[in-house]
Structure 1
Amino acid sequence: MRIEAASVLHSHAYPAYFQQCRADGCEYYSHSQATPAVFYQQVLDHAAGHHLPPGYVPTQTWFALDEGGDILGAIRLRLGSTPFILDQCGHIGYEVHPAARGLGVAGRLLAHVQQHGAPQQDGGWLIICTDDNSASQRVISRAGGVLLTATAQGPGEAWLRYYHLPSRRY
């Protein structure tokens, strides 16, 4: 497995990844009505700081790729803080292709961001996951994330907010 910053080189692999993640209900993809090509152009634009919606900041995206160049997972690092980021999505967001879950992809992606990502002004990042996502909770905790709060979002649902420091140990 290798990890690379999202670029035009991955545009051939992105549509299948996008469609599978959307079909699996990944929130990042499920709310968009865009085609995979349009959505991917937005990913590239947002990395460059172009065409950012209100409340968004430039966002670097990396992919975990298999030997054939297929995307196994993605991680996004939002480069700044806004109320939307602090309350809704955190500085780091990631997902793993359903067929690649349990293979350590999320942990490798998070370790990559720890080593290569630019920290926020206070030195760390906020990561948010739902209380029913035990796999993500384990990944964040193993990488040194510290649980800050659990916030109810509705009946039977809560968001867990973790503070996460970069690490240069990898």
Structure 2
Amino acid sequence: METVFLVKPSIEYQAEYLDFYEEWKTSGELIVPWVVSKDPSDFEGMLQFLLESENQEALSENWVPSSTFWLVTASKRVVGAVNIRHSLNEKLFNCGGHIGYGIRPAERRKGYATKLLSMALEKTKELGIGKILVVCDESNIASEKTILKNGGMPDTSFTEGNGNVVKRFWITN
């Protein structure tokens, strides 16, 4: 695994981010976290949206403030993304959690997800979030292992309306 760091989304990483986005779109897989599925064709508009998402006053009702970071290698390759919700509404409490993260398909099984979640937990400390809910689908064994490696303590699962079971874990900072 190459050395990595978290960066705020910026124009500096536009080409690398677009490559990251296109790889994920081409894979046909569900894009996680949801902010990565936001169309980056208006890149500056997307960056503005992500910045405004940190401010409650700029958000629609039922949305909570969130911070997005990209996991970038020393060679400036965007390998992952994380979205940290500053608080939870009912839906996030049941099946979204404080942290949503994902690693681009070509970079999985290299330890990046474990590192990304660990770094995201440091950001939650900075935000003053002491008890963090992290979730994954029951079928996502790799994500469950990542959460457990980062100190996740299992809680009651939540079954969505479509029957999907969401496993819920708490991590204390």
Check whether TM > 0.5.
Answer: yes
1:46 aligns with 53
Aligned pair 1:16/2:23, yes or no? no
Displacement, 1:138? 0.2
Partner residue, 1:126? 133
TM-score, normalised to structure 1, is: 0.82
Matches of 1:133 and 1:6, distance apart in 2: 27
Is the Cα contact below 8 Å between 1:3 and 1:62 reproduced in 2? Answer: no
| Residues 1:132 and 1:39: Cα distance change in structure 2 (over 3 Å) | farther
Give the whole-Å Cα distance in 1 for the aligned partners of 2:117 and 2:139. 20
Give 1:73's aligned residue.
80
5 Å-filtered alignment, 1:59-70, equals 59-70=66-77
Contact 2:35 2:83 in 1 (8 A): no
Equivalent runs, 1:20-169 vs 2, <5 Å: 20-22=23-25, 23-29=28-34, 34-36=39-41, 37=43, 38-49=45-56, 51-117=58-124, 118-120=127-129, 123-153=130-160, 157-166=164-173
Cα offsets for 1:11-67 (capped at 9, x unmatched): 332222222223432254599573442444422321355642332222122222123
Over 3 Å counting, the alpha-carbon distance change for 1:55 and 1:11 in structure 2 is farther
Q: Does the CA contact (< 8 Å) of 2:71 and 2:81 recur in 1?
A: yes
- Supply the distance in 1 between the matched residues of 2:108 and 2:96 (Cα, whole angstroms): 21
RMSD: 2.5
Contact 1:5/1:60 (<8 A) preserved: no
1:63 and 1:33 map into 2 onto residues whose CA distance is 14
Structure 1 unmatched runs, 5+: none
Structure 1 stretches (4+) deviating beyond 6 angstroms? none
Q: Deviations over 1:56-115 (max 9, x none)?
A: 222122222123212101112111222232123111100000011011111111111222
The 2-side partners of 1:98 and 1:50 are apart by: 35
For residues 99 and 33 of structure 2, the distance between their equivalents in structure 1, rounded to whole angstroms, comes to 12
Query: Aligned partners of 1:119, 1:105: CA distance in 2, in Å?
Result: 24
1:55–1:83 CA contact under 8 A, matched in 2: no
Identical columns (%):
22
